[in-house]
Amino acid sequence: MEIKVLEEKEDKVKLEVSDMTFVNVLNEALWQQKIEWAAWTKDHPYLSQPLVSVKAKDPKKALITAAELVQSDVESLKKAFAKAVKE
């Protein structure tokens, strides 16, 4: 997965992310925090990459926290799935 920072300001960050699934779960995790807003867009279904925009007091910290939350959720899902398959 590739992530590029397209715009970076004190209270706003815009990223290009190559994985649509990650964009959706990242956006959901961002909204679980105290941020001003977060959104994603994709100009063309086949010719463009999704863009994630975040506005917060510290958008980099919000993105890192959101990514850590996604990672934690994936680990929990992995354990639950492994347990269900063994039963």
- Structure tokens given for 67: 């990514």
pLDDT digits (tens, 9 = 90+) for 25-69: 999 999 999 999 999 999 998 889 999 999 999 999 999 999 999
Question: What is the number of domains present in the chain?
Answer: 1
pTM > 0.75: yes or no: yes
Supply the CATH number for residue 28's domain: 3.30.1360.10
pLDDT at position 66 = 96
CA dihedral 16, 52, 3, 66 (to 10 degrees): 180
Confidence (pLDDT) at 46:
86
Range of the domain at 22: 3-86
Residues paired with residue 17 on neighbouring β-strands, in sequence order = 3
Question: How many residues can be counted in the chain?
Answer: 87
Tokens found for residue 55: 């506005």
Q: Are 26 and 70 in contact (CB under 8 A)?
A: yes
Buried/exposed 15-35: b ≥16 CB within 10 Å, e otherwise: bbbeeeebbebbbebbeeeeb
